[in-house]
Structure 1
Amino acid sequence: MRAEAADAPISAADAVRASVSYDQLRIFDGSLYWLETRPDAGGAATLMRWRPGEGTRDAGPANFHIGSAVHAYGGGSFAVVDGNLWCVGEGGLYRRRRGGDELELISPGVMGDLVVGAGELLAVRESEQGDELVAVALTGPLQVRVLAESAGFFGAPRPGPAFLAWSWWSERDMPWDACELWVAPYESGGGIGDPVRVAGGADESAVEPRWGPDGALYFMSDRSGWWNLFRWNGQEAQAVVPVAGECVAEPWELGYASYDFLDDGRIVMAVQQGPRHRLLLVDPSGAATSVELPYTSIKPYVAAHGTAVALIASSPTAAPQVALAHLTADGPRLEVLARSEHTRLAGRAVSTPTELRVRVADDREVLALVYPPTGAGPGWRAPVIVRAHPGPTASCLLRLDWQAQFFTSRGFAVVDVDYLGSTGYGRAFRESLYGRWGVDDVDDCRAVAEHLLVTGRAVPGGVFIRGASAGGYTALHAATQDGPFAAATAISAIVDPDRWATTVPRFQRAHALRLRGGAGRVHADAIRRPVLLVHGTVDAVAAVDDARDLAAQLTRRGLPHELLLLDGVGHYVATSGHAGAALEAELAHYRSWMGEAGGDPGCYTAAAGS
């Protein structure tokens, strides 16, 4: 298959096909494992394995989707010990014996955060009534044993020397708001003893416990205002190294590993500051040094392999890849184990971003990543798509996004906004959107758009806003205002926060309750701009009926809109088999409302590049 011409627009099919994602990078039996998801394969995750001297290969199981639905967002969905694969998928927990092909159902139920230790498999099991910490012996009768249960939530069961550590948060909290870390005596085959709380509380999030080679318990806590690394020696917890950055990702999923221990005694961890990630090495004295890598985005799956570290990382010119960084005395040496490659996009010029900082009310600063039209010169002027990220505790990602390049290759500029509530700016910033959702996030996106208009970058009448999930709610409320946006696209959008709080999975109910109270429900009669609604028919996070109801109300009022329902698609449209159709619909939507640009953003690109 030949490559596309360097100046040809990127097709939706190619943008989707190139959007491969990697997740859950872990080490078992001396091998690296991860899940690889390809949208053009229907979004199913494939287990991959890399072993020194053998390279990378598909590790199966065939025709089986490994994926956890625990806490709605999953995580920690497989483990390997002595060649036996333990994994979760539709139906429950399964085992595949070494050398075999058949999967054996061990236990039904919704499970995740699988970890092996003390001769057992430990996991979190969820029901509508609450969570359980469970254990299964690796040999002998395969019976699931309940270690603890709660109406709240468990995470990170981590066995150590005669102890078990875990995290817990109540049904009234999210783990990034109030999460506690507990430790109790534990023996394989038995129960747990009297637990002791190590850290966490109403105003502290303590996450990612991990036993160190020194026998101490390490964890991340945001008691300083940033998630930083701490060490508990059985008596007290002390900071390992203070960093003005987030040393852990916001815990939407179970099984995250933002740090690990190298064989030479150093600790390696990923740190986020704004939209950028970097890798930090901490020596036993607490001194920290940065590792110079060609990456700006690192997923929360850091896995030490001797004195090397495996990462899922990317940059504005490199799509996500699995890499092994050998930390030598002469500097890091990279070995790429897997990368997203698509022949038709080989050698393509891509748009790379610049950081934009805009002052808003209360002398606060909003950061945005501005991707100019591909090939545009320094004086570019173009139609602009402002993107409100989902979450809203997520953040802009400084990495190659082929679906953004789909638009920049057609003359649009794409602008990602780290609005109030985003991660990467400390706890206070993250919490500030509570009760202000649909207000301050909209204001931040609007301020960035207005700045681009005032400075002559954006074309009047050609500025749009789009968002997915919580970002879709932001985009819809932006469409209720006069101002810079000519039209809005809302994908998998939340429409009514009050109703959402009753329909959302139990994990996120506390989030819904804390966020609401700002702009409230999106009312059809308040919408002043054309909207495109894109929604999967089996979305388990944002009910499709809300999108249908809003579209019906807009129809009755004669207000311009479109509704694209994607049959069989869940909450993640961008990684589904229908992602291409969604991109084409979004492009057509913007072109139909281009205003001054007359439906042809390319005329501005040509002027900008001259």
Structure 2
Amino acid sequence: MTQQIAPFGTWTSPITTDALVQKSTTLLDVIVDPVTRKAYYLERRPFESGRSVLVDIVSGKDVLDQRWNVTTRVHEYGGAAAVVYDGVVYFSHGGDDRAYCFNLTALGEPEAVTPANKPWRYADFTVHPTRRNILVSILEDHTRDTPQTVLNCLCIIDVQAKAVSTLVEGADFYDQPLFSPDGKHIVFRSWNHPDMPWQRSSLHIFSVVDTDARIELRDELRLTWDGGKNVAVGYAKWLDAQRLVFLSDVSGFYNPYLYDLQTKQRTPLLSSPLPNDFVVTSFRLGGSPYVVLYNDGKAVAVLFDTAVQGRSSLAYFDLTSKTLKPVDSRHLVATSAIRSVSDKEIIFISQSTTAPTAVSKLRLQDLTQVPIAIRYEVLKSSTASLDFPDGIISQPVPLLLNLGGGLEVHANYYPPTNPGFKGDPEKERPPCVVHSHGGPTGQAGMGLVWDKQYFTSRGWAWLDVDYSGSNGYGREYVDRLNGNWGVTDISDCVQAGAAIAAAPHNLVDPARLVIRGGSSGGFTTLAALCSFPDAFAAGTSLFGISDLIKLAEHSHKFENRYMEKLLGGSCEDVPEVYNKRSPVNNAQKIRSPLLILQGMEDKVVPPEQAEIIVKKIREQRGHVEFMSFEGEGHGWRKSETIKAALEAEIAFYEKMLKISVNRSKT
């Protein structure tokens, strides 16, 4: 194909918003029935108003009809909304927040197993292996619905009696409950404000006493580290009735450990800790960063997903030889929801740099090979068949940017890519989107994301900045943001953009850098525009934070005190920090045009966060454009919103940067 020379940012692209929202889904989870070994996946469908649907992997058919929305609002971010056990689905329904059960063989209708008209939310179900009528799950009680008064506990759901009772309470948060194979023990995680679970948390193991009326917990064992050290633990899985594996970042990186109930010994699973994170932490519940493989009921190996410099790498740990072998998964950059269907076969959510996120099956071949060879199959793609030309997907280039003073920051650069067009580097360099991810203890990731390709296929460059505080690079990198949120993150983003625009990189036009981000990434965007008013030609905040004091008052319980470590104390302790770093108090410094996009049902970053800074900028006669979306929360779920927001953002940049585009052809 002959490439047409055209100015960067003006290229015609088949990656349109219509193409992207048509039958595209978000893959949320993979679920395997531990008894029948049947597999299912959970996907969110923007074209069905964001409904989450459980699908049989083999038949491809929905398990439930369109009346049902398999989702939960626990922690607002949700996750872990369903489990399948011996042919019965237990799930949270988004229509009323109740828990339901549905027998896949008897069919009929789902049956509510929790009370009606209660402001209770459920997630993270585990089924007792011998008393199948007993579930344990998180219960989030919104009877007094303020961030300070919402209560979390682990509850018992008696499916037969349709009754709910408290199992354990007292901590601010609980998650990851899991019965042992014989039902005689249960493990779960807890943590308390002001910590987040990846900052400091505890694992608890209790004996389960089965009485006629209910189950009771006794003889607590607590897995944590003493000495006041902030250590995160979690993601426990049972090898058998007496041993479990869990992850801890006590070494500085999330590594696996083994606990034996008989000896009460906690030992590293590996001979020495690796400088790799064996989990990339998430704000959503659930997740399965590794899986135990069984042969005839005996645990034989553990298949891990390790993060090496932010990129996934699968590894196989043989429990007999105690050796860790790499798995040939070089085409993958991220995996999640790893579940086993046999001792050599797993089903999981996969991400690569060239193909859409998918539900995939991986079969281990010759275990003596290094790396272990695999047979890989895509079972379900998140995107319907899109007839895009070869070579249109921009590939990420990992960068370790030296920002001076010995500080290095990770980033991924996506060059403008389109087989039909090329720019003239003698005349210009491309405009560039500098993206600040959410979290802020999140990660941009390297998997294919169509929003980025929407830009790069039109002649834009894109830079994902994994600024200080991003996970996947070890605890020290995460802790660099403690006390420095609103300082280090914005400095990293500003300097990273400037670095790739200058020698020796010379990749982008320094006069045409724009910054954008969602949630806390929106805060970083707004704060960067305040502190470095000449660094960017424009910016976009998607449901971003503008007033830290109001956020401390009105955000949801899960993140209500998250800021205390990020800002060096509570609002009462260091009010001057909250005031100084709030973009709304520095809005007069913003000189770059700003676009703000906001969901009006957002409980994480309430709409007032957008409204107050829009009002402040307009009072200062600054340039701000505002779009609100009714029925949307923290992130876009509906097709029409995804389409409108993306089109509005690129049109805003084109107008501000005076990029002339024939919109009818793009």
Task: Confirm whether residue 337 of structure 1 aligns to residue 379 of structure 2.
Answer: yes
Q: Partners in 2 of 1:404 and 1:112 — Cα distance?
A: 32
Task: Confirm whether residue 226 of structure 1 aligns to residue 257 of structure 2.
Answer: no
Task: Confirm whether residue 514 of structure 1 aligns to residue 545 of structure 2.
Answer: no
Letter in 1 for 2:650: L
Q: Partners in 2 of 1:8 and 1:23 — Cα distance?
A: 29
Is the alpha carbon distance of 1:592 and 1:101 closer, same or farther for their aligned partners in structure 2, counting shifts above 3 Å?
farther
> Would the aligned equivalents of 2:599 and 2:631 in 1 still touch at CA under 8 Å?
yes
1:187 shift after superposition: 3.2
1:378 shift after superposition: 10
> Would the aligned equivalents of 1:181 and 1:207 in 2 still touch at CA under 8 Å?
yes
Q: Indicate the residue corresponding to 1:570 in structure 2.
A: 633
Q: Partners in 1 of 2:77 and 2:16 — Cα distance?
A: 30
1:520 shift after superposition: 1.5
Q: Mean alpha-carbon deviation: is it higher for 478-487 or for 11-20?
A: 11-20
Task: Confirm whether residue 463 of structure 1 aligns to residue 505 of structure 2.
Answer: no
Q: Deviations over 1:181-206 (max 9, x none)?
A: 11111034321013121225651111
Letter in 2 for 1:130: L
Q: Partners in 2 of 1:198 and 1:378 — Cα distance?
A: 57
Question: Which of 34, 46, 51 is the matching residue for 2:41?
Answer: 34
Question: In structure 1, the residue corresponding to 2:476 is in which secondary structure?
Answer: helix
Q: Partners in 2 of 1:186 and 1:378 — Cα distance?
A: 67
- The size of the alignment, in residue pairs, is 590
**Structure 2 stretches of 5 or more lacking a match?**
1-10, 142-148, 568-576
Task: Confirm whether residue 270 of structure 1 aligns to residue 295 of structure 2.
Answer: no
Q: Partners in 1 of 2:463 and 2:24 — Cα distance?
A: 19
> Would the aligned equivalents of 1:532 and 1:589 in 2 still touch at CA under 8 Å?
yes
Q: Partners in 2 of 1:101 and 1:389 — Cα distance?
A: 44
Q: Partners in 1 of 2:378 and 2:233 — Cα distance?
A: 33
Q: Partners in 2 of 1:24 and 1:157 — Cα distance?
A: 17
Task: Confirm whether residue 288 of structure 1 aligns to residue 324 of structure 2.
Answer: yes
> Would the aligned equivalents of 2:29 and 2:43 in 1 still touch at CA under 8 Å?
no
1:176 shift after superposition: 0.5
Question: Which of 18, 36, 54 is the matching residue for 1:13?
Answer: 18
> Would the aligned equivalents of 1:278 and 1:295 in 2 still touch at CA under 8 Å?
no
Q: Indicate the residue corresponding to 2:156 in structure 1.
A: 135
Letter in 1 for 2:52: A
Question: Which of 516, 523, 540 is the matching residue for 1:473?
Answer: 523
Question: In structure 2, the residue corresponding to 1:74 is in which secondary structure?
Answer: coil
Q: Deviations over 1:233-267 (max 9, x none)?
A: 12121111222111122142222211111125010
Q: How does 1:587-602 map to 2 (within 5 A)?
A: 587-594=650-657, 598-600=658-660
Letter in 1 for 2:233: A
Q: Partners in 2 of 1:587 and 1:315 — Cα distance?
A: 25
TM-score by length of 2: 0.85
Q: Indicate the residue corresponding to 1:3 in structure 2.
A: none
Q: Indicate the residue corresponding to 2:99 in structure 1.
A: 93
Q: Partners in 2 of 1:41 and 1:250 — Cα distance?
A: 29
1:9 shift after superposition: 4.2
Is the alpha carbon distance of 1:501 and 1:461 closer, same or farther for their aligned partners in structure 2, counting shifts above 3 Å?
same
Q: Partners in 2 of 1:507 and 1:142 — Cα distance?
A: 28
Question: Which of 134, 138, 141 is the matching residue for 1:124?
Answer: 138
Q: Partners in 2 of 1:19 and 1:415 — Cα distance?
A: 24
Q: Partners in 1 of 2:350 and 2:638 — Cα distance?
A: 18
Q: Deviations over 1:444-488 (max 9, x none)?
A: 111111112213321242110000000000111111123331111
Is the alpha carbon distance of 1:238 and 1:151 closer, same or farther for their aligned partners in structure 2, counting shifts above 3 Å?
closer
Task: Confirm whether residue 415 of structure 1 aligns to residue 451 of structure 2.
Answer: no
Letter in 2 for 1:62: Q
Question: Which of 122, 125, 149 is the matching residue for 1:114?
Answer: 125
Letter in 1 for 2:336: P
Q: Indicate the residue corresponding to 1:608 in structure 2.
A: none
Q: Indicate the residue corresponding to 1:84 in structure 2.
A: 88
Q: Partners in 2 of 1:358 and 1:233 — Cα distance?
A: 43
1:81 shift after superposition: 2.4
1:61 shift after superposition: 4.0
Q: Mean alpha-carbon deviation: is it higher for 30-39 or for 13-22?
A: 13-22
Task: Confirm whether residue 304 of structure 1 aligns to residue 340 of structure 2.
Answer: yes
Q: Deviations over 1:96-118 (max 9, x none)?
A: 23333423222142111012223
Q: Indicate the residue corresponding to 1:606 in structure 2.
A: none
Task: Confirm whether residue 355 of structure 1 aligns to residue 398 of structure 2.
Answer: yes
Q: Indicate the residue corresponding to 2:537 in structure 1.
A: 486
Question: In structure 1, the residue corresponding to 2:400 is in which secondary structure?
Answer: strand
Question: In structure 1, the residue corresponding to 2:209 is in which secondary structure?
Answer: coil
Q: Mean alpha-carbon deviation: is it higher for 179-188 or for 57-66?
A: 57-66
> Would the aligned equivalents of 2:313 and 2:330 in 1 still touch at CA under 8 Å?
no
TM-score by length of 1: 0.92
Task: Confirm whether residue 245 of structure 1 aligns to residue 276 of structure 2.
Answer: yes
Task: Confirm whether residue 497 of structure 1 aligns to residue 560 of structure 2.
Answer: no
Q: Partners in 2 of 1:172 and 1:25 — Cα distance?
A: 31
Question: In structure 2, the residue corresponding to 1:444 is in which secondary structure?
Answer: helix
% identical equivalent positions: 27
Letter in 1 for 2:245: Y
Letter in 2 for 1:357: L
Compute the RMSD of aligned alpha carbons: 2.1
Q: Partners in 1 of 2:639 and 2:589 — Cα distance?
A: 31
Question: Which of 156, 165, 174 is the matching residue for 1:154?
Answer: 174
Q: How does 1:396-411 map to 2 (within 5 A)?
A: 396-411=444-459
> Would the aligned equivalents of 2:483 and 2:566 in 1 still touch at CA under 8 Å?
yes
Letter in 2 for 1:248: V
Task: Confirm whether residue 164 of structure 1 aligns to residue 214 of structure 2.
Answer: no
Letter in 1 for 2:107: G
Task: Confirm whether residue 185 of structure 1 aligns to residue 246 of structure 2.
Answer: no
Question: In structure 2, the residue corresponding to 1:580 is in which secondary structure?
Answer: helix
Letter in 2 for 1:247: F
Q: Indicate the residue corresponding to 1:207 in structure 2.
A: 234
Q: Deviations over 1:125-147 (max 9, x none)?
A: 01244222112345x42322321
Letter in 2 for 1:520: R
Q: Indicate the residue corresponding to 2:410 in structure 1.
A: 367
Q: Indicate the residue corresponding to 1:43 in structure 2.
A: 50
**Structure 1 stretches of 5 or more lacking a match?**
1-5, 603-610
Question: In structure 1, the residue corresponding to 2:441 is in which secondary structure?
Answer: coil
Q: Indicate the residue corresponding to 1:258 in structure 2.
A: 289
Q: Partners in 1 of 2:287 and 2:510 — Cα distance?
A: 43
Letter in 2 for 1:526: K
> Would the aligned equivalents of 2:31 and 2:84 in 1 still touch at CA under 8 Å?
no
Q: Indicate the residue corresponding to 1:529 in structure 2.
A: 592
Letter in 2 for 1:194: D
> Would the aligned equivalents of 1:505 and 1:540 in 2 still touch at CA under 8 Å?
yes
Q: Indicate the residue corresponding to 2:72 in structure 1.
A: 68
Q: Partners in 2 of 1:198 and 1:343 — Cα distance?
A: 47
> Would the aligned equivalents of 1:130 and 1:151 in 2 still touch at CA under 8 Å?
no
Q: Partners in 1 of 2:423 and 2:659 — Cα distance?
A: 23
Question: In structure 2, the residue corresponding to 1:122 is in which secondary structure?
Answer: strand
1:151 shift after superposition: 4.3
Q: Mean alpha-carbon deviation: is it higher for 413-422 or for 440-449?
A: 440-449
Letter in 2 for 1:152: D
